[in-house]
Structure 1
Amino acid sequence: MTTYEEPTDHRVDRMPPADLDAERAVLGSMAIARTAVLDVVEIVDGVKQPFSQPQHETIFNTMLALYAGGQPLDPITLTNRLRQQGDLDKVGGPAYLHQLVNSVSTAAHAAHYAEILRDMALLRAVIATGTELVQLGFQARHTHDTAAQIVDTAAANLQELTAAAKGGNESREWMLDRVVDAVLDEYDNPRDDVLPLPWADLQSVAPMEPGDLVVVAGRPAMGKSLVLLGIGRHVSIKHRRGCLISSMEMSHVQMGQRLVAAEAQVPLHALRARTLNREQYAHVRQARERIRRSPLRIDDTPAVPVSRWRRRLRQLQAKNELPAALIVDYLQIAKAETKAQNRVIEVDSIAVGLKALAQEFKIVVIAAAQLNRVSEHRTDKTPTLSDLRESGGIENNANIVVLLHREDYYDRESPRAGEFDFIVAKNRMGHNATVTAAWQGHYGRIVDMEEA
């Protein structure tokens, strides 16, 4: 009895897609000519793990670090840097580095080899994504995820792949005449995508535009959450523009109480204690209807990493519901994607990630940040940029930094009791200034002085 044997050329290859010769050729080309570095980076940018071999990935990242520092990429310099990092033996030693250089005779074809890397990496990503989605489907009963949540995750992952596949082919170059035309067009036809703020003076000093990372910083109990919620309420309820608030410090119920009290103009403590009078309760019911009709979303998931926000924004983008702003409360309790040597490095990476979200989705990202205690030990309690806690990367990546201050927090007899300062301490596209508003903490809001 004869048995049927499937033809070899029709069998599914279970080995992950890879081209080791192309990987070696890319690294060799970069070592031969520094000009090849930019060609390669432009093509593989946005692709996770373009190299299938960990040692090649290590060599590539080390070469990029040397390039960024203006150092040569020859085998000697590369060997020394890898030895300093403790990676030399892991990548095959000096002999393997020389082998890479000898694997190509010219760097002229670096872009071609990089395209091969990109294709192989994308195919590996497709396999990894498919495997992950299959596992999510089988594990749903144990994780208690709904089918809709699984589908949303699948859509977000596939969108990531689509974006990565297109990334290397979309040019970001602009001719100078087009840049100038865009500036004049904006002047003649004012943009309508500047984020509307509830404080007119702050709006005029520091307009927040798509692509901006705005940091609102202050000491605990200084009013950071009220400022963020005030912006979200104004953007979504008054102007009907989408806003996503990630509240990692307060629950959605606590955020909702503040939101209702501010919108209904009733005392927050009375709302929480259920002691509203009939007129106040009527205001609350009216406010509820306005809030219900608004495109405001609140997510109270704790310790969120940047990747979760990116995934959620992609889901909303797929539904044509991309918000005008992502509001994060607050930056230092967000979760880093990877564990770093210290918290400063982790916070810096979170700030970089938030800035990337603002630019990728062309939205305004507003993040609260904690200030350290140094200002409280000074005679003048007014905060400064140097008081930003745990990070210099927050200041570096932010387009706008607004510090919050209330004199009557420290001195109840202050002649400025009830006043609230927005100190614009960094303004990349404008000037710094201090804007004064009125503090109405009992209503859970801050308003312009004219409205107080």
Structure 2
Amino acid sequence: MKLYNIQAERDLLGSIIIKPDNLCDCVDLLKGDDFFKDGHKLIYSAITRLYTSNKDVNVTTIAEALNSKLNIVGGITYISQLAGQTLQVESIKSYAEIIKKYSNARKLFAVLKKDTTRIEKTDADIKSIVRELQDLSLEFESKINADNGELDKPMANVLDSLEKRYLNGGAIQGIGTGYKKLDKTLNGLNRSDFIVISARPSMGKTAFAINMALNISKQHNISFFSLEMSKEQLLERALAAKALIKMNNIKSGKLTDEEWTSISQKSGLIVSSGLKIYDKVYSLNGIKAECKKRKLQEGLDVVIIDYLTLIDGAEKSNNRVQEVSKISRQLKLMAKELNIVVISLAQLSRAPEARNDHRPMLSDLRESGSIEQDADIVISLYRDEYYNLNTNDKGIIEAIIEKQRNGRTGFVKLAWKPEYQLITDKSPYVEDGTYSPDIFKNKGVQTSMN
């Protein structure tokens, strides 16, 4: 009985050599020992080490990584043949599943063969044999990075976190958003959380997201997936906010020498920060692959998606609510699997328009399905001056915390400067958080708001 598929192993390895990013489709499913051929085990392990070390993966680097074991795999000639005889494919998951199936079959065959010999002996412990088979079955069915249910390590993590907070005088536990009041309410952005930021159109969702991304990227790696706007459009907003230059001036190009200097300085800071923007990744699988790739190669802390209902789901459905529900669930699972914060923007339904108080409610989430169930935190944005011209809250954007699984709800008022696409804790704004009433001098910005 054949318990291997050499061709699948060759095709998978060849596909990865041709396109190293394909490794993201199988790195969590396959280990070197899952391959039948010893040479393939060594090649796959070498590729994995190179990729996760953020090194180039090609025939030469693989041969170098194998070092003294190169002859065992058939030399550099065999590695070249793998790449040369393989057709490029979009996904290698089917190859990986075939290899894993035969790997599991070999493990099962080995255990059954050993247990058959034990059963033939009259003194065999049948219960232990059954337990061994049950354990093997659970291993096959368990997910990657399965939890063993033990509490010693998690408890040690909790105590370590408590000690750090105590020593830091009660500092926030998670990643700072750059908004002190919001951080205090949320205790920062905490890893494995799925956060939804919702609003009606023109409330400032994207501006809030890009401002938060700029703040976070000073100390952390953040990936921003834009399914609606181009990188260039987002970067124009980022420059306006960072350099304190009006968007109209940036769009028209009417800039002073001082403004050009500021743009030059701030553009360099943005490029060298931990922010990456993707504007040509539209599918859920594509987003997950890019996140996994960056997590492996550089580290990844926060992901922002603009916005949820534009994501092309892995499974097509005539029921959009069900499709969005599956997407939101997968985003939550991705946050847990990669131990990152996932933030997704979402549109609200028209329901707030029909109420006297236009402030959004949790039930207003459009095509919500299980979004409000999957989300650990739901924040809705609201600007009263959009509806009430005579409001006292001009230049104010409310971040309404509709849901917080591990904390209290409430709201935080932030300063909104639309001409700069800027959202801050207070006005006037200084990057180090100090108060300076002269910061907007000659820029035509009112400084009465605190």
Report the TM-score range of the alignment, normalised by the length of the smaller protein.
0.5 to 0.7
Q: Distance in 1 between matches of 2:423 and 2:151?
A: 43
Counterpart secondary structure, 2:160 = helix
Q: Please list the CA deviations of residues 311-342 of structure 1 after superposition, one character each: whole Å capped at 9, or x if unmatched.
A: 112222332x1221011000011011111231
Is 1:151 aligned with 2:130? no
Relative distance call for 1:133 and 1:217 in structure 2 (3 A) is farther
- Mark the CA change 1:279 to 1:168 in structure 2 (over 3 Å): closer, same or farther: closer
> Displacement, 1:129?
8.1
Cα deviation, 1:265-304, whole Å, max 9, x if unaligned, reads: 11111111101112111111110111121121000015x2
130 and 332 in structure 1: CA distance in 2 versus 1, 3 angstrom threshold: farther
> Is the contact made by 2:348 and 2:364 (CA closer than 8 Å) also made in structure 1?
yes
Three-state SS of the structure 2 residue aligned to 1:381 is coil
Question: Per the alignment, in what secondary structure is the counterpart of residue 30 of structure 2?
Answer: helix
Per the normalisation by structure 2, the TM-score is: 0.65
Residue 289 to residue 380, structure 1, CA distance change in 2 (3 Å): same
Q: Does 1:310 align with 2:178?
A: no
1:355 aligns with 2:332: yes
Structure 1 residue matching 2:162: 3-state secondary structure: helix
One of 352, 368, 371 as aligned partner of 2:345:
368
CA distance in 2, matches of 1:196, 1:248: 25
Deviation digits for residues 344-395 of structure 1, max 9, x if unmatched? Answer: 0010011001001100000000000000011011111000001000013110
2:394 to 399, 413, 417: 417
Partner deviation per Cα, 1:72-102 (whole Å, 9 max, x = no partner): xxxxxxxxxxxxxxxxxxxxxxxxxxxxxxx
1:325 counterpart residue number: 302
| Cα distance in structure 2, aligned partners of 1:339 and 1:332 | 13
Contact persistence 1:261–1:443 (CA under 8 A): yes
Q: 1:262 to 1:152 in 2, by over 3 A?
A: farther
How far did residue 412 of structure 1 move?
Answer: 2.3
SS in 2 for 1:185: helix
Question: Which of 210, 224, 231 is the matching residue for 2:191?
Answer: 210
Q: Which residue of the other structure, out of 165, 169, 187, is the alignment partner of 2:162?
A: 187
Alpha-carbon contact 2:376-2:404 (below 8 Å) kept = yes
Partner of 2:233: 254
- Normalising by structure 1, we get a TM-score of 0.65
**Offset of residue 308 of structure 1:** 1.2
2:176 maps to 1:201:
no
CA contact under 8 A between 1:216 and 1:369: conserved in structure 2? yes
Contact 1:214 1:367 in 2 (8 A): yes
Identify which of 327, 338, 344 aligns with 2:321: 344
2: CA distance between counterparts of 1:344 and 1:133? 39
**Is 1:233 matched with 2:210?**
no
Query: Take 2:196 and 2:9, find their aligned partners in 1: how far apart are those partners?
Result: 34
Displacement of 1:175 in angstroms is 3.6
| Matching residue's letter, 1:186 | S
Residues 15-26 of structure 1 mapped to structure 2, 5 A cutoff:
none
CA contact (8 A) 2:377 2:405 kept: yes
Secondary structure at the counterpart of residue 313 of structure 1: helix
Cα deviation for residue 201 of structure 1 reads: 0.5
Please give the alpha-carbon distance, in whole angstroms, between the structure 1 residues aligned to 2:374 and 2:284.
Answer: 15
What residue ranges of structure 1 are gaps of 5+ in the alignment?
Answer: 1-8, 18-122, 138-146
Which residue is equivalent to 1:66? none
Q: Identity over aligned residues, as a percent?
A: 29
Distance 2:427 2:227 in 1: 33
- Please say if residues 152 and 315 of structure 1, whose CA atoms lie closer than 8 Å, have aligned partners that are also in contact: no
Corresponding pairs, count? 316
Distance 1:130 1:220, change over 3 A: farther
1:159 and 1:314 in contact (8 A); partners too: no
- How many Å apart are 1:184 and its aligned residue? 2.2
Q: Distance in 1 between matches of 2:178 and 2:145?
A: 37
Q: Which amino acid aligns with 1:189?
A: K
How far off is 1:306 after superposition?
2.0
What does the per-residue CA deviation read over 1:179-203, in whole Å, with 9 as the maximum and x for residues that have no partner?
Answer: 4443222111239872211211011
Contact 2:172 2:184 (C-alpha < 8 Å) held by counterparts = no
* C-alpha separation in 2, matches of 1:415 and 1:128: 67
Deviations 1:134-156 (A, max 9, x none): 6x79xxxxxxxxx9xx5233222
5+ long unaligned stretches in structure 2: 32-96, 101-138, 166-170, 430-450
2:376 corresponds to which of 392, 399, 419:
399
| Equivalence for 1:162 | 30
Distance in 2 (alpha carbons) for counterparts of 1:446 and 1:127: 56
Separation of aligned partners in 1, 2:331 and 2:235: 25
Deviation at 1:170, TM superposition (A): 5.3
Structure 1 pair 330–170 and aligned structure 2 pair: CA distance change class (3 A):
closer
Q: Helix, strand or coil: the match of 1:403? A: strand
Residue 61 of structure 1 is matched in structure 2 by none
Deviation at 1:307, TM superposition (A): 1.5
Matching residue within 254, 261, 272 for 1:293: 272
Are the structure 2 counterparts of residues 129 and 280 from structure 1 closer, same or farther at C-alpha, using a change threshold of 3 Å? farther
Q: Residue 197 of structure 2 contacts residue 381 of structure 2 at CA under 8 Å; is this kept in 1?
A: yes
Aligned 8 A contact 2:324 2:369 in 1: no
Q: In 1, Cα distance between the equivalents of 2:161 and 2:373?
A: 27
Shift of 1:219: 0.6
Query: 2:361 maps to what in 1?
Result: 384
C-alpha distance 416-170 of structure 1, shift in aligned 2 (>3 A): closer
- Secondary structure of the structure 1 residue equivalent to 2:202: coil
Q: State the shift of 1:445 in Å.
A: 1.5
Which residue in 2 is equivalent to 1:51? none
Are residues 332 and 188 of structure 1, via their aligned partners in 2, closer, same or farther at CA, if it must alter by over 3 Å? same
Change (3 A) 1:412 1:193: same
Give the 3-state SS of the residue equivalent to 2:260 in structure 1.
helix
> Using the alignment, how far apart are the partners of 1:157 and 1:342 within structure 2?
28
Instruction: Name the amino acid aligned to 2:374.
Output: N
